[in-house]
Chain A
């Protein structure tokens, strides 16, 4: 029988990291080794994660495709499925369908400087491509990461932030919103756009990858433009509610563009051509 496209892989939770009080990262291991063998994905793609009995929820694969033994996902407790996911323990089963969607064009970026800008829970969809390019470090020139969250407690991947900031080949800027700092906070204090403006990375031969809440995007875009970035050199991801993941259920389209098929990765140039339906 041909494949049931709605049938998820069964995954075992290998480990759980509590990133913040309401954000968790799961490491998921294929229960069936054959599935693991067959499975491959690229940076930027997403999947449908399910708790049987509660339903499915969409988020990006947060681990790098260069690490083949597992996939990781990071989610915030928000609705029915993510609440159910958060109640699971190591060893429990979840479902995973994917990978779906397009990818960050990292091959095209080879030989360029990369500027990653993320806010809050938007680092996970970017983490995949960050690790992907770090693992292929020799192909890229300078890598700069600007990451901000409301408070120190809201920063995700604290271990990795530390690791990245300690690497000599990555310029890491972490910031928290004013008032969100703790006494021993050593990073920047200020909103992402301001911090970015202060750091003023060169737009010369540089690709900017931007993910964050709409308000952050809104204020960061002018800064990027001021720094000289062109629309086609800025990438971001869109999120819309979706059910199927392959362009049938009719939810995620922005105009005629399916976020699940043509996205989630879009250049800012593409975004400008889309109607405002996201």
Chain B
């Protein structure tokens, strides 16, 4: 990862950016995000298969934006998140420098948005393989089994909203669960309130989820809530033949339409 470190140092030294967001290994060996503003500290940057967190979540945070121009270590999901955030006008490409990393861990030269576009275009955008299998298995269940499965999983939910906070697309300053006029979702964590929350979250990410799986990874009690959004990602492709985060100009699937959309819901 010498290339990454060199590039980060260079960007910081010539003041192209004020901070580099990447990964470092904490003292317990756990990989975590690192915010590097001093070029001397760039040596702690790492990149390997443990670096899975979607760093794009920080791009919309006011305290991070406040630091100045950002260089961000970006695997494919991060790049797609950036694309999505640009298309939803949350960030502008000028505010950031993308330190792209290929699937096999090589530093890419992402000179501008069109290069990133090109990289995304030639990548496999469907759900990651390990989740595809899980999704396929779940789909095989009968409705009653599915209901039981999800009730059991969702009963663990404590409403800590780690799934929401970890998601780069959940950048609203006031989430629907925090709206109290009217109170859309019960504040308490119980079977019914938990289910409503996860339906709401999945629906609000339909056509926007870029399948990074962060929500499921962040969940402290291990609810596979990423499967809900990934299932919808599958379905969005199935019906509308698009993947989220593939173009800076794309309209969100749910805020656009085609007159001949299938009326699958009318039986």
- Name A's B-contacting residues (CB within 8 A): 55, 79-80, 83
Contacts and interface: CB of A to CB of B under 8 A. Distances in A.
B180 interface: yes
Contacts of B180: 55, 79-80
Nearest to A55: B180
B181 interface: yes
Interface of B: 180-181
A55 B180 CA distance: 10
6 contacts: A55-B180, A79-B180, A79-B181, A80-B180, A80-B181, A83-B181
A80 B182 CA distance: 8
Contacts of A55: 180
Contacts of A83: 181
**Which 3 pairs between the two chains have the least Cβ-Cβ distance?**
A80-B180, A80-B181, A83-B181
Contacts of A80: 180-181
Contacts of B181: 79-80, 83
A79 B180 CA distance: 9
B153 to A, nearest CB: 30
A1 B181 CA distance: 36
A81 to B, nearest CB: 9
B177 to A, nearest CB: 14
B11 to A, nearest CB: 35
Nearest to B180: A80
A170 B265 CA distance: 73
A55 B181 CA distance: 12
B159 to A, nearest CB: 17
Nearest to B183: A80
A83 B181 CA distance: 10
Contacts of A79: 180-181
A94 to B, nearest CB: 18
A241 to B, nearest CB: 13
Nearest to A81: B180
Nearest to B187: A55
A80 to B, nearest CB: 5
